[in-house]
Amino acid sequence: MSHTSRRSSSALVSWFVASVMALSSAAVMSPALAAAKKTITAVMHSDLRVIDPVFTPAYITRDHGYMVYDTLLGTDANFQVQPQMAEWKVSDDKLTYTFTLRDGLKWHDGTDVTAEDCVASLQRWSRNDSMGQKLMDATASLEATDAKTITLKLKESYGLVLESIGKPSSYVPFMMPKRLAETPPNQQISEQIGSGPFKFVKAEFQPGVKAVYEKNTGYVPRKEPPSWTAGGKVVKVDRVEWISMPDAQTAVNALQSGDIDFMEFPPLDLEPVLSASPDLTMNVLNKFGYQTLGRMNFLFPPFDNVKIRRAAFLALNQKDVLDALVGNSKYYKVCGAVFGCGTPLETELGSETLVKGNGMEQAKKLLAEAGYDGTPVVILAPGDAITLKAQPVIAAQLLRAAGFKVDLQTTDWQTVVTRRASQKSPKEGGWNMFFTNSVIADSGNPIGSTFVGARGQKSPFGWPDDPKMEELRDAFAKAGKPEDQKRIAAEIQQEVYDQVIYVPLGQWFMPSAWRKSVTGMLEGQAVPVFWNVDKSE
């Protein structure tokens, strides 16, 4: 028997964690000093590699953004916009919004946060974000009228100004210094300098291995209680370390042994064991859940043909995907609503084949009628992300059953995040289809939803170009009555399904697990945050 095989499970996990931490050879603190600090060690849903939250909407990058950066406005657990870095006033004619920065705001390099920084940050964010794009379409001017005042003037009344600037999830309008905000949004920023509750420890960052954050002792939190992304962001620990453990069982063992404190997404098949542990808490933090979805590339064959997109749509069904992704029906819901089940805009219009799984024969027929020539469908498949591994595998099986030729290319998730931004042809390293998840906070309305927008090159990965969709979204943004919004949202959903702008594949809920020595995890979140969190010895 080898030396390794003689290790106990707990000892092996401890050795693994210690080995990961040792890889941070550039650490600026001595081991003794690091041990003396109160530290939360977490395994998140994915490795962190891309660290510019405006460059990508990937949730791990968004989560990193909330550690380092702050926002002008926040959204509380009741979906109400609240002041965060700034208070606001609205003119009587609803055309001028004035934001005033609160006192005590400093960048991590010690310089003052200014209105010019914030204007530049909003401009950069708006170029990538669908809600930001619509806001800027309605904006006549956006300027810093003095060091602490931001003035936004509209061309005409627009009802989603505050909701846009206070949106809680990807893309989040994070504030950063002007010199960084002037970086083109398709290029990554060169530094991680924010004004948020934690500082990024660049010297200890090992992409795909470890990311470290230290308490920003100069941060002045708001006085209100924390609620979702609003309220007081009070940091109660000295350090937070995100440790990469691609093997879920290794991470679970580390959680049980106390080598890590928090695991964002433990395997659901181990939920009974983890829930029964006297040392662990297991709970769903995101009460609104996620929508899992597929996105096709409109630029290249075969999905530049709407009939072939429809054939692929008809071949897919939610239950097969959800059974593979989640398994336990307690934690998922077959849901044909583009804007999420349980939301004011819920409707099943156009979703029959997705929710009933009865579209395969129609798919085969339509694929033949469309003259599909066997062009391979390149599907990006992340093998390291527990919440993203199953979807491409099941989709590949269903598309093959319909008559598609499929090339399933497995990499890690961060490679997918980078590669999906490429507009090269599939033969040159591009792609035809990828899968991701969207919190309902992102997908709950037609303006905020990342993948409903269809503005060609201005749209996220996939780049659909559908003028009718944009007319409908404009009408929704201007609609003043809830009944009008609901009617227009139903038309938008039908257009999503007719043109296959994207494919909603169901709603699911994922519990997190943490040691009982950790307290203060905030519920109702679309985002796992580490302010308000404490750890007892």
- Distance, in Å, from the CA atom of 355 to the CA atom of 317, rounded to the nearest integer, reads 6
Q: How confident is the model at residue 30 (pLDDT cuts 50, 70, 90)?
A: very low
Rounded Cα–Cα distance for residues 100 and 98 (Å): 7
Residue range(s) occupied by CATH 3.10.105.10 in the chain: 290-508
Residue 263's pLDDT band, with cuts at 50, 70 and 90, is: very high
What is the DSSP pairing of strand 149-154 with strand 96-101? antiparallel
Residue pointed to by tokens 């080598």: 259
| Mean pLDDT, rounded, for 181-201 | 96
In this prediction, residue 525 carries a pLDDT of 65
CB 271 within 8 A of CB 281: no
DSSP letters of 235-279?
Answer: --SSEEEEE---SHHHHHHHHHHTS-SEESS--GGGHHHHHH-TT
- Taking only the tens place, the pLDDT of each residue in 115-167 is 999 999 999 999 999 889 989 999 999 999 999 999 999 999 888 899 999 99
Q: Domain 290-508 - what CATH class? A: alpha beta
Q: To the nearest whole number, what is the mean pLDDT of the chain?
A: 91
Residue 15 has pLDDT above 50, yes or no: no
Q: Which one-letter DSSP state was computed for residue 432?
A: S
Phi-psi sector, 284: left (phi>0), alpha (psi -120 to 50), beta: beta
- Beta-ladder partners of 98: 89, 151
Give the integer Cα–Cα distance in Å for 164 and 181. Answer: 18
**CB 406: neighbour CB atoms within 10 A?**
18
User: How far from each other are the two terminal CA atoms of the chain, in whole angstroms?
Assistant: 37
Is residue 464 within 8 A of residue 456, CB to CB? The reply is: yes
CB of 123 within 8 A of CB of 132? no
Buried/exposed 472-490: b ≥16 CB within 10 Å, e otherwise? bbbbbbbbeeeeebbebbb
Separation CA 256–CA 10 (nearest Å): 9
The domain defined by 4-50+197-283+512-535 folds into D-Maltodextrin-Binding Protein; domain 2 (3.40.190)
> Is residue 519 over pLDDT 90?
yes
With a CB cutoff of 8 Å and minimum separation 6, the contacts of 409 are 378, 379, 380, 381, 431
- Angstrom distance (rounded) from CA 28 to CA 516: 30
**CA nearest neighbour of 271 among 329, 335, 333, 341:** 329
Residue ranges matching CATH 3.40.190.10 in the chain? 4-50+197-283+512-535
Q: Do residues 354 and 505 make contact, with C-beta atoms less than 8 angstroms apart?
A: yes
Instruction: For the chain, give the longest Cα–Cα distance.
Output: 79
The pLDDT value recorded for residue 174 is 98
The CATH fold assigned to 68-181 is Dipeptide-binding Protein; domain 1 (3.90.76)
pLDDT, tens only, 62-92: 999 999 999 999 998 877 899 999 999 999 9
Contact 351, 359 (CB under 8 A): no
The CATH 3.90.76.10 portion of the chain extends over 68-181
Structure-block tokens of residue 400: 């093959």
Whether residue 197 contacts residue 59, with contact meaning beta carbons closer than 8 Å, is answered with no
pLDDT at 5 over 80: no
The CA distance from 167 to 42, in Å, is 25
The C-alpha atoms of residue 316 and residue 274 are separated, in whole angstroms, by: 33
